[in-house]
Structure 1
Amino acid sequence: MKGLYYDGSGAVYREDLPIPVPEEGESLIKIHYSAVCNTDKEVRKGYRPSFRGIMGHEFVGEVVESPDEKLKGRRVVGELNATCGKCIYCRTGRPTHCSNRRVLGMDNKDGCFAEYMTIDTSLLHLVPDELPDTRAIFTEPLAAALEILTQVHISPDKNAAVLGDGRLALLTAQVLALTGVDLTVIGRHPEKLALFRPFARVTTCGEKEGYEIVAECTGSETGLPQAMELVRKKGTILLKSTYSGKLSIDMSMVAVNELTIVGSRCGPFEPALRLLNDNKIHLPEIELYELKDFEKAFASKAFKAGFSFV
C-alpha cells in the first residue's frame, strides 16, 4: 500500500508498505482522508527522535475489520493514545498519560498517512451520518481545543486572549467564545485574523498584562515568553503548542507573578463531533492532495491541508 514513512531523518513516500494486520482488540481502517497537523511537521524536524513508521494521527475512515461487528462498514474517527490499562496513570483516570502508551504516527504505532491503518477499537468514535468527511476530519484538533474546558474554569465575567492565528488558534478561540468570555485574538497576519472577527476582537499587538487567561497556540517556542508578558499577575497560561526545539525562560517570574501554566493536549471526541455536526464551529475547507504530493501538503498555507484516499 501507499504510505508516508518517517525513517529517522525525514518523510519518505512509499508504495511497498504491507497492509497492516490488526492485533488483538484492534480494527482495520480504510482511510478516506487524513490531515496534516503542526505536530506532524515537528516530527519531521525531530520532535519524536525515536519514532520510525507511518506518520499522521488525524483521520476519517471506514472500518474494514473489527472485533465489534457493529462497527464494520461504518465511518469513524479515532483517538491517538493506545493505553495499557495497568500503569498508575491508567488506574487513576489519566489514560492519555499512560506510561506504556503507543501514539498514532508518533510513538511505537503506525499512523494514518497511508491507505490502511490499525487502531485499538476502544479509541474509535462513529461519525454521525449527517457529518461529511471533510468536516469530521477536524474532530481530533477540536477535541484538543475542548480539553481546555475540562482543565480550567473559564469565567464569562473575565477576559481571555488567544495568542496565534493558525488552525489550533481558530479552534481554541471558537471553543472559548462558546463560554461568553471577553475574548481577544492576537496574531501576526491580518488576513488570517479576519476569520476570528465574528466572535472575538482581533489585534496584531496585545496589551501587556492585559488578560486573565492567555491560550498560547502559536506552535512556536516564542509563544510562551510572549504569553508571560500578556497575562496578568496571578493569571493563567494555557499552553497548547508542541515543537521540536528547547526553550529557556525565566521561571522566577512564574513564581514572583504567581502564574499558573497549564499544559493541554488531547481532549474529548464526542463533544467535538456534536459541535461539528450541529455547525457550532465554523472552519475553512480542507485543502486536499495526493499522498505522493506530501511536500506540497506540508508547505501549504491553507487553513488545513491533508490527503485524500477516495
Structure 2
Amino acid sequence: MKALHFDGKNLKCMEDYPKPQTGEALVKVSMAGICGTDLEILQGYMSYEGVLGHEFVGVVVESQNKDIVGKRVVGEINVGCENCDSCKKGMQRHCPNRSVLGILNRDGAFAEYLTLPERNLHVIPDSVTDEQAIFVEPIAAAFEIKEQISLNPGWHVAIVGDGRLSQLIVSVLKTSCSDITCFGKHQKKLDRLAKLGIKTKIGIQSNDKFSFDLVVEATGSNSGFLDSMNLVKPKGIVILKSTIASKENLDLTPAVVNEITLVGSRCGPFRPAIDALATGIISVEGLIDSKYPLENFKEAIDHAKNSNILKVVLVP
C-alpha cells in the first residue's frame, strides 16, 4: 500500500509499504490531517520511526464486529495493554506499555490503511462530514480541559496561540466561559476568532499581565509558556496543551513564587467532540486550508509549516 514513512531523519512516500495485518479492525483512510505533533516528530519529538498521522476519518473494511464494517469511523489514538493497573482503571492513554497511532510503536494514518482495536473506534453520524470528522481528535483534546478542571463562568480566560488547536480550544471553552481573549501573532487567524465574538490581541500589553484566572498554552514553544506565566494571576491555572521539542531550559521560578497550578493536558473524550460537531455547537468551517494527495506530501508538509495556515489535509 501507499504510505508516508519516517525513518527518524527523512520522510518518504512508499508505494509498497506492507498492508497492516488483521487481528484488529482494518480501516481504509479517507483523509488525515497534519497536526502540530506530526511536525514536532519530524524535528525529533518522541524519537518515532514509522508511518506518521493520527487525525483521520476512514471506513472499516474488516472487523470481527460486523456491525461496524462499512461504517465511517474516527479512532482514539492510544492503545493500552488492557492488563496493567492504568488500563484496569480506564486510563489506557497512560498505559506504560501503550502504543500511540502515528506517534509511538504503531503505524499511523498517513497511509491507505491503518489498524486499531474495535474498542478505539467511534462511528461518525451521517450529519458529520469527513472534513468535520478529522477534527474529532483535536476537539476531544480540547474537551479534556473540561474534564480536568471545573470551569468558572466568571473567569477571565486567555488562550496563548492562534493556530489549529487554539481555534478549537476557544470553541470548546466558549461553551462555558464568556470572557475569553486569544493572544496570537497572525491577524488572519485572529480575525476568524473575532467573528466568533472572541477578544483577540497581538502581543501582551502591560495591563494584560497577571490578569487571567485560566491560561491555556497552545503554541508548542518556550516563548508561549513564558507568555502564559506572564498572563496568569497568582494562584491561577495554566493548562499546558502542546508538546515542545525544544531542549532549551525553562525558568519555573514564577510558577513557584506565584503558586501557579500547572496542568498537563493531552488526549480527551471522543463522544462529546462528535456530539458537538453533530449538533453544531462546534464549527470547524474555514479551518481546512488545502488538501493534498499522499504523494505530494513534501508540498503538504511545507504548507502546514506556514504560520498563516490552519489545517492541511492528506488524501491517500
Pair in the same fold by TM > 0.5:
yes
Asked if 2 retains the 8 angstrom alpha-carbon contact of 1:134 and 1:285, the reply is: no
Does residue 1:304 correspond to 2:311, yes or no?
A: yes
Does residue 1:292 correspond to 2:299, yes or no?
A: no
Distance, in Å, in 2 between the alignment partners of 1:160 and 1:123 is 32
Counterparts in 2 of 1:239 and 1:282: CA distance versus 1, 3 Å = same
Distance, in Å, in 2 between the alignment partners of 1:236 and 1:8 is 36
Aligned-residue offset at 1:162: 0.4
Aligned-residue offset at 1:91: 2.5
Identity of aligned residues (%): 42
Q: Note the 1:265-284 alignment, pairs <5 A.
A: 265-283=266-284, 284=286
Q: Note the 1:95-244 alignment, pairs <5 A.
A: 95-197=92-194, 198-206=196-204, 207-244=208-245
Aligned-residue offset at 1:260: 0.3
Does residue 1:262 correspond to 2:263, yes or no?
A: yes
Distance, in Å, in 1 between the alignment partners of 2:60 and 2:264 is 33
Q: What residue is the counterpart of 1:85 in the other structure?
A: 82
Aligned-residue offset at 1:68: 0.6
Which residue type is aligned with residue 149 of structure 2? V
Distance, in Å, in 1 between the alignment partners of 2:125 and 2:145 is 24
Which residue type is aligned with residue 289 of structure 1? Y
Distance, in Å, in 1 between the alignment partners of 2:163 and 2:255 is 26
Distance, in Å, in 2 between the alignment partners of 1:88 and 1:221 is 34
Q: Which runs of 4+ in 1 moved over 4 A?
A: none
Which of 28, 31, 48 matches 2:29?
A: 31
Which residue type is aligned with residue 296 of structure 1? E
Gaps of 5+ in 2: none
**3-state DSSP class of the match of 1:222?**
helix
Distance, in Å, in 1 between the alignment partners of 2:245 and 2:282 is 29
Asked if 2 retains the 8 angstrom alpha-carbon contact of 1:13 and 1:291, the reply is: yes
Does residue 1:18 correspond to 2:30, yes or no?
A: no
Which residue type is aligned with residue 19 of structure 2? I
**3-state DSSP class of the match of 2:46?**
coil
Aligned-residue offset at 1:20: 1.0
**3-state DSSP class of the match of 1:169?**
helix
Aligned-residue offset at 1:93: 3.3
Distance, in Å, in 2 between the alignment partners of 1:241 and 1:53 is 22
Q: What residue is the counterpart of 2:46 in the other structure?
A: 48
Asked if 1 retains the 8 angstrom alpha-carbon contact of 2:84 and 2:95, the reply is: yes
Distance, in Å, in 2 between the alignment partners of 1:120 and 1:246 is 35
Which residue type is aligned with residue 202 of structure 1? T
Distance, in Å, in 1 between the alignment partners of 2:278 and 2:94 is 29
Distance, in Å, in 1 between the alignment partners of 2:179 and 2:287 is 27
Deviations along 1:243-270, one digit per CA (max 9) or x if unpaired, are: 2112422223212111000000000111
Bigger drift between 239-248 and 149-158 goes to: 239-248
Which residue type is aligned with residue 27 of structure 2? I
Distance, in Å, in 2 between the alignment partners of 1:170 and 1:21 is 37
Distance, in Å, in 1 between the alignment partners of 2:238 and 2:10 is 33
**3-state DSSP class of the match of 1:48?**
helix
Aligned residues: 306
Asked if 1 retains the 8 angstrom alpha-carbon contact of 2:99 and 2:106, the reply is: yes
Deviations along 1:37-64, one digit per CA (max 9) or x if unpaired, are: 0000011111021x22111001100000
Bigger drift between 290-299 and 59-68 goes to: 290-299
Q: TM-score, normalization: structure 1?
A: 0.96
Q: TM-score, normalization: structure 2?
A: 0.94
RMSD over aligned CA atoms reads 1.2
Distance, in Å, in 2 between the alignment partners of 1:163 and 1:120 is 35
